[in-house]
A and B are shown apart, each in its own frame.
Chain A
Amino acid sequence: MPDRKSPFTRREFIASSALVGAASLAMPSILRAQGAGVKLGILHPVSGALSYSGTQGRLGATLAIEEINAAGGIKGLGKIDPLLGDALSTPEGGTAEVEKMNSAGVAAIVGGYASAVCLAVSQAASRYDLPYVVDVGVADSIVTRGLKNTFRFGPGFGVIAKTALENLAAINDAAGKPAKTVMIVHEDSLFGSGLAKLLNAQLPAHGFQILETIPHPTPTRDFNNVVLKIKAQNPDLVIPADYYNEYVLLARTMQQQKVKPKGIYSVLGGAASSYKFVKEFPEAAKYIMDCNHWFDPRNPKALALKKKVEDKGQFYTYEVYMNYSCVMLVADALARAGSADRAKLTAALESSTFSGHVMPYGPTKFVNGQNQGAAPVNTQVLDNDIKVVLPANFAQAKPVFPMPA
């Protein structure tokens, strides 16, 4: 008999390492606010990998609800009673919350954030004809599956990529076409890979040559090798498509390794249009351009909300104002439907012309669940602030391109 001091064998040790994953499965919870009125499901990934975005989304939604309730609630229906759910950053987590929210009798669900969660949630909600308003999820398949209950207030992938490419070409042309070669750095899930595929298909048509496309997982602990490759090929443009943490690490490593392309142009860049990034790393963020969700800088309501969020010590990220707008949209539909009945609410959303939101979309108009006016804008980090540079009718500044040395 071998001398065994421990009941663990190596095999057990390795097998049980898999349990590490189990540690991340926290208990889902539905927190219920008090009071009668209309129940509204607010569903975000507030734990797990996407928890920062989810928490920001929840903040935007609850701010809208507080505002509505402070003004007396929805006419004829009373105050909104929010049911806050945690999608755990997984599709299954989202689906489980839909079941709970449905049994609790919510009138509608708002949120989802990640495309994969939105896809699962929309499907689960459709079984109960439960109206679902997608806050962010950009995958086009969310609204192209013919689900009557699903409405997306923001723009989808196709529109974003098209706008991003047209604006990039316009900026480059206006500067005398200094950029010819491109490298794409993207995270390798649905969002980054899908975007990279689109860019690879469409950039050559706009006169750009793609030198290399580099995928990486989320999280990535070290970007030195990626930056090494960029340095070796010396492209005119670097296009990152990453979530926040990786985006910041990439930009910091580029600064550290003194890699300065003519431009950094991101599409839905995780940090490129984030006040947090600009505040914490002003040097690394300088002149970065992004095509992303953004509030209407001319709308006083959007600016008032910005102040409110910043007074709370939080950053005014797109999750906040998109969720705020989505809840306002649902509240408007509820008021017009005059009832929390799901069929009536769905009909009211279908015919919505709501314009009391804070996005640069104009009046809402849903066709097959997609808001037709929804579009991204181009921003650039200028003077330690984020300015809208395109489209011209919203622009606060002219794009600075190529980046000054």
Chain B
Amino acid sequence: MFSPVILITAILNGLLTGAVYALVALGLTLIYGVLHIINFAHGALLSAALFAAFFAFHLLGLDPYLAALLIAPIFFGFGYALQRLIIGPVSHGDDRNMLLVTLGLSVVIENVLLYAFRADTRTIDLPYAFQTIDLGFTFLPIPRLIGFCLVFAVALVLWAIMRRTDVGKAIRAVAKEKLGAQLAGIDVAHIYAITFGLGTACVAIAACLLIPTYYVNPTVGDAFVLIAFTIVVLGGMGSVPGALVGGLLIGVVESLSGLFLGESLGQIGIFLIFIAVLLVRPTGLFGARA
């Protein structure tokens, strides 16, 4: 019913959108995989990071892609502090408390943003925001293409950190056996906070990739976080490649089901695949045993 040109373009669009979903999910899966925290504040943190990218552009004149170099470390620090000073101490080691604390944090962050910046929707206008690459049959927006490439770069860095550094080893050790890691001399509270910081930094980078083509308001993160939760379960909780593949898959499925079923029903495709994966492979695509 649709010509191959439309189908191919829709798949490309899906991949470009899916990459950003993947980066948001990457942060979430890291936090879940190690800390077992279901981080409800993830969407609010994304909104906050979008505001940071917006103001970095407006007040400092920083291009969002450059701003990522500034905002990601700041959000790493913010995430570290959140875990070390609030989530960790308040939860007293009980995972259920952590869930409630992050839920509370999301309400606080969103309302602080609402209070500070009002509900106004803001966008930035970059000179290259409307530039495209002409593939002959379609135009690929350059900002989204840059975003796509950067997501892979971030995933690679993250993977390298997890596999090649001492911190990464410590994170994996804590994830596998908290008590054992503690006995081996690893500062568990510090590793927890680092992991939360890394997850938050991922969200900050995702925000910098989103802002050139998207908008920001205090609740904008919610639209992404439900999708991210789906990707985390689909890809396997705590799995970096799982989040990446899951994100791309969800992007393509959403795009194609939007095309065939209409945008209103586009989400159905996502959840059908989601249910099918859970039925056939309950640990997710790349998940290890529970």
- A103 → chain B, closest Cβ, in Å? 26
Give the residue among B44, B123, B258, B263 with the most A Cβ atoms within 10 A.
B263
CA distance A22 to B132 in the complex (A): 40
Q: Are B262 and A219 in contact (CB under 8 A)?
A: no
Bound complex: CA of A214 vs CA of B36, how far in Å?
A: 41
Q: Cβ of B78 < 8 Å from any Cβ of A?
A: no
Contacts of A52 in B (CB 8 A): 118-121, 217
Q: Is the CB of A23 within 8 A of B106?
A: yes
* B: interface residue count bin: 35 or more
A224 CB contacts on chain B under 8 angstroms = 9-10, 13, 17, 255
Shortest distance between the CB of A231 and any CB in chain B (Å): 9
Query: If the complex has contacts A6-B36, A215-B262, A219-B223, are A51 and B215 also in contact, measured as CB distance less than 8 A?
Result: no
Determine if B148 is an interface residue (Cβ-Cβ < 8 Å): no
| Minimum distance in angstroms from A96 CB to a CB of chain B | 18
Given that A2-B290, A225-B13, A256-B132 are known contacts, is A49 also in contact with B263, CB under 8 Å in the complex? no
How many Cβ-Cβ contacts under 8 Å join chain A to chain B?
148
Q: Is A26 an interface residue (CB 8 A)?
A: yes
- Within A248-283, which residues are at the interface with B (CB < 8 Å)? 248-249, 252, 255-258, 280-281, 283
Chain B residues within 8 Å of A222, by CB: 13, 17, 255
* Contact stretch, chosen from A10-18, A200-208, A394-402: A10-18
A256 to B13, CA, bound (A): 13
Q: Which residues of A contact B225 (CB under 8 A)?
A: 20
- Shortest CB-to-CB span from A34 to chain B, Å, is 21
- What mask results when residues 90 to 104 of chain B are scored 1 for a CB within 8 Å of chain A, else 0? 000011100100010
Choose among A14, A48, A51, A217 the residue that contacts B233 (Cβ–Cβ < 8 A): A14
Alpha-carbon separation in the docked complex, A220 to B107 (Å): 23
CB within 8 A of B36: which of A5, A46, A256?
A5
Closest chain A CB from B9 CB (angstroms): 6
Tell me which residues from 221 to 235 in chain A have a Cβ below 8 Å from any Cβ of chain B. 221-222, 224-226, 228-229, 232
Contact B178 A5 (CB under 8 A): yes
The answer to the question of A19 belonging to the interface, with a C-beta cut-off of 8 Å to chain B, is yes
Per-residue CB proximity of B247-290 to A under 8 Å, as 1/0? 00000000100110011101100000000000000100000011
Tell me whether B224 is interfacial, beta carbon within 8 Å: yes
- The answer to whether the Cβ of B166 comes within 8 Å of any Cβ in the partner chain is no
Q: For the complex, give the distance between the alpha carbons of A7 and B36 in Å.
A: 9
Contact in complex: B95, A7 (CB < 8 Å): yes
Tell me whether B121 and A19 are in contact (CB under 8 A).
Answer: no
Question: Are the C-beta atoms of A221 and B224 separated by less than 8 Å?
Answer: yes
- A8-B95, A10-B233, A20-B40 known; A225+B263 contact, CB < 8 A: yes
Given the contacts A7-B96, A221-B17, A248 and B123 also touching, CB distance less than 8 Å: yes
User: Is the Cβ of A215 less than 8 Å from the Cβ of B125?
Assistant: no
Residues of A within 8 Å of B237, CB to CB, are 10, 13
Taking the complex as formed, is A140 at the interface, i.e. its CB lies under 8 A from any CB of chain B? no
Known: A23-B107, A225-B10, A248-B215. A55 touches B125 (CB 8 A): no
User: In the complex, which residues 140-194 of chain A have their Cβ closer than 8 Å to any Cβ of chain B?
Assistant: 188
- B69 touches A (CB below 8 Å): no
Flag whether A245 is at the interface (Cβ < 8 A).
Answer: yes
Q: Is A24 an interface residue (CB 8 A)?
A: yes
> Is B229 in contact with A232, judged by CB distance below 8 angstroms?
no
| Complex Cα–Cα for A310 and B259 (A) | 41
Instruction: Report the separation of the CA atoms of residues A267 and B90 in the bound assembly, to the nearest whole angstrom.
Output: 51
Chain B neighbourhood of A354, CB < 8 A: none
A22 touches B233 (CB 8 A): no
Q: Is the CB of A245 within 8 A of B233?
A: no
- Nearest-Cβ distance from residue A352 to partner chain B, whole angstroms: 32
Assess the A23–B119 pair: CB atoms within 8 A: no
Which of chain A's residues have a CB closer than 8 A to the CB of B43?
Answer: 20, 23
Closest 10 CB pairs of A and B: A51-B119, A216-B263, A6-B36, A224-B13, A52-B119, A188-B264, A215-B264, A23-B106, A17-B229, A219-B223
B interface with A by C-beta (< 8 Å): 2-3, 6, 9-10, 13, 17, 32, 36, 38, 40, 43-44, 94-96, 99, 103, 106-107, 110-111, 114, 118-121, 123, 125, 129-130, 132, 138-139, 141, 175, 177-178, 213-215, 217-220, 222-226, 229, 233, 237, 255, 258-259, 262-264, 266-267, 282, 289-290
New contact pairs (13) apart from A10-B282, A48-B219, A229-B259, CB-CB < 8 Å? A6-B95, A8-B38, A16-B99, A20-B43, A20-B222, A55-B118, A217-B263, A219-B220, A221-B17, A224-B255, A225-B255, A228-B6, A228-B9
